[in-house]
């Protein structure tokens, strides 16, 4: 991990165990109101291996018909997304270096076999704000490269309580999750990994 792209910050152990437990409690409440759904790729309709939901005034969704987008309501219930928990807003205030709050917090749930292909987060119209990512539960192998798909990549392990910031030059860095390491955390009763990414979708 000698030369991480400029603007990528890795903040290990940002949340201690009791804070992680509090976050999981808050996520459980969110999921009770805004159930996990299975996202599908635009056009092909191929389902992703993660399940997801959101909190915030906007949420990121995707389906075969309408593709990647942010919207104010849950695709299945039609209800507004629940609020972003205060602990996450506090993290954003502390580390985002951006003067407005995040609008969306995407919640990804990975089972043992789930992964996420290399991609850029570019459905936002504000790239001055970073994407702030929190990992909970089982560790994963995270891959990050440059701003072009073919750029060299490097991989490192993210564990429960770690935070990654994709900002500055790295805001549009390609990244993905190659694999989950089952049984590496006791945080989630049934195992798996939760990733939270706070995003600003519109200009402040
Ligand atoms: O799970 C992760 O660590 C990354 C998630 C991600 O890149 C995304 O939701 O766009
Ligand atoms: Fe991403």
CATH number reported for the structural domain that contains residue 152 in this entry: 2.60.120.590
- Is there a domain that residue 1 lies in? no
- Ligand 1 pocket list (CB less than 6 A): 106, 108, 116, 121, 133, 142, 175, 177, 195, 197
119 C-alpha to ligand 2 centroid (Å): 6
- Is there a domain that residue 103 lies in? yes
8 A C-beta contact, residue 168 and residue 106: no
- Is there a domain that residue 2 lies in? no
Q: Tokens for 5?
A: 């792209």
What's the N-to-C CA distance of the chain in angstroms?
A: 33
Per-residue pLDDT tens for 101-143? 999 999 999 999 999 999 999 999 999 999 999 999 999 999 9
- Among 160, 182, 61, 184, residue whose Cα is nearest residue 114: 182
Q: Which parts of the chain register pLDDT below 50?
A: none
Identify the pLDDT of residue 2.
55
- Is there a domain that residue 3 lies in? no
53 C-alpha to ligand 2 centroid (Å): 14
Ligand nearest to the CA of 163: 1
Tell me how far the alpha carbon of residue 54 is from its chain's centroid. 10
172 C-alpha to ligand 2 centroid (Å): 9
Ligand nearest to the CA of 115: 1
Identify the pLDDT of residue 4.
79
Residue closest by Cα to atom 3 of ligand 1: 195
Beta bridge partners of 131: 166
Q: Tokens for 60?
A: 């990121």
Ligand nearest to the CA of 176: 1
- Is there a domain that residue 110 lies in? yes
Q: Which residue range forms the structural domain that includes residue 152?
A: 8-199
How many domains does the chain divide into? Answer: 1
Identify the pLDDT of residue 71.
98
Identify the pLDDT of residue 165.
98
- Is there a domain that residue 44 lies in? yes
Point out the annotated binding site for Fe cation.
119, 121, 175
Q: Tokens for 123?
A: 């459905």
Residue closest by Cα to atom 10 of ligand 1: 121
- Is there a domain that residue 204 lies in? no
Q: Which residues contact 186 (CB under 8 A, 6 or more apart)?
A: none
118 C-alpha to ligand 2 centroid (Å): 8
- Is there a domain that residue 45 lies in? yes
Which phi and psi (to 5°) does residue 70 adopt? Answer: -105, 140
């Amino acid at each position: 991990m000698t030369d991480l792209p400029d603007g990528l910050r890795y903040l290990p152990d940002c949340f201690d165990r009791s804070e992680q437990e509090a976050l999981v409690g808050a996520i459980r409440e969110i999921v009770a109101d805004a159930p996990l759904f299975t996202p599908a790729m635009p056009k092909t309709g191929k389902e992703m291996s993660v399940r997801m939901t959101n909190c915030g005034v906007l949420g990121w969704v995707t389906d075969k018909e309408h593709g990647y987008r942010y919207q104010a309501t849950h695709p299945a219930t039609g209800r507004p997304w629940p609020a972003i928990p205060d602990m996450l807003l506090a993290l954003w205030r502390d580390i985002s270096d951006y003067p407005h709050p995040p609008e969306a917090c995407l919640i990804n749930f990975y089972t043992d076999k789930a992964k996420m292909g290399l991609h850029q987060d570019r459905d936002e119209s504000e790239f001055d704000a970073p994407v702030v990512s929190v990992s909970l539960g089982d560790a994963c192998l995270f891959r990050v490269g440059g701003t072009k798909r073919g750029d060299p990549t490097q991989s490192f392990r993210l564990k429960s309580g770690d935070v990654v910031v994709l900002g500055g030059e790295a805001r549009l860095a390609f990244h993905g999750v190659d694999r989950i390491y089952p049984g590496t955390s006791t945080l989630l009763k049934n195992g798996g990994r939760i990733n939270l990414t706070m995003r600003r979708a519109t200009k402040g």
